[in-house]
Amino acid sequence: TSHQGGYSHDAVVHALKNCGIRHIDTAKRYGCESLLQKAIKESGVKREDLWITTKLWHSDYGYENTKKACLNSCERLGVEYLDLYLMHWPDTHVLGKSNREVRAETWRAMEELYEQGLCRSVGVSNFLISHLEQLKEDCEITPHVNQVEYHPFQRPQELVNYCRRREIVFEGYCPLAKGQALTHPSIIELARKYGRTPAQICIRWSIQNGIVTIPKSTNTERIQENCKVFDFTLAEDDVEILNGMHDGRHVSWDPSLVV
């Protein structure tokens, strides 16, 4: 799900009931946590069979605010715990405090939520190596996940390698580059070669690069299509073609804006 046309009740129910999808990624920012509660109930899928990720928006950063925000998200989702809770953004603006101080204070609350079992795992989103290094110095628990934009045009391999060295799971969003990848001639050519769609090529490439991949769609047919990526493998040479398409463009955020 996302905040820009990122929610469809029918699509979520279809994904859960008919496609075998069990990972739901949402955020307070997206404004659909309470809508998801209804869709999950309608799907009939048991809570314990789901992996629910939501995110803490930067306006809720700070020790006490973080704890309240987590409880509020749980209430809106209709759950007693979260499988994964992420700090949505490294940057925030709190009068009299640096971003680093606010991140550290917020993360201490995240650590306690984890230790209490309210969050089965905790992580961050859009964090660069510099942010993760600061957190390492300031806090006790290493983030379990770093969720970052990842697609053929944005492949931050240095960050991926850093996360792997520290056993931080790297999770990639926008695997289709918000549709920009679907019209690239090389991707269209690979889709023809494998008898697949451009979207399936991008998702399969991301998975083969060892990335936890979370495509978003509100279209039931495309959700079904996005799931059919486990019955074929891209040749190494073709993976390298896609790896070579990195040009540094962002379709979601610009890291130069955060400190």
Residue located via tokens 């451009």: 198
92 falls in which pLDDT band (50, 70, 90)?
confident
Give, as one character, the DSSP assignment of residue 151.
B
Q: Using pLDDT thresholds of 50, 70 and 90, give the confidence band for residue 93.
A: confident
**With 60 as the cut, is the pLDDT of residue 193 above it?**
yes
The pLDDT, as a whole number, for residue 6 is 72
Count CB neighbours of 84 within 10 A.
21
Exposed, middle or buried, 103 (CB in 10 Å: 0-12/13-18/19+)?
Answer: buried
pLDDT beyond 80 at 241 = yes
Per domain, the residue ranges of the chain are: 1-149, 176-247
Q: Is the pLDDT of residue 258 over 60?
A: no
Average pLDDT over residues 65-72: 98
**Residue 19 pLDDT:** 95
Asked if residues 58 and 51 have their Cβ atoms less than 8 Å apart, the reply is: no
Residue ranges of the annotated binding site for substrate are 88
Say what the pLDDT of residue 95 is: 85
Residues 6+ apart with CB under 8 A from 51: 22, 23, 24, 83, 84
Q: Beta strand pairing status for 212-214 and 169-173?
A: parallel
Q: What is the mean pLDDT of the chain?
A: 95
7 is catalytic: no
Task: Read off the amino acid at residue 85.
Answer: Y
Which one is catalytic: 7, 30, 61, 85?
30
- Model confidence band, residue 252 (pLDDT cutoffs 50, 70, 90): confident
Q: Which residues are annotated as a binding site?
A: 88
70 alpha-carbon distance from chain centroid: 17
CATH number for the region 1-149 comes to 3.20.20.100
pLDDT in tens, 7-59: 899 999 999 999 999 999 999 999 999 999 999 999 999 999 999 999 999 99
Distance, CA of 5 to CA of 218 (rounded, Å): 8
pLDDT over 90 percentage in the chain: 92
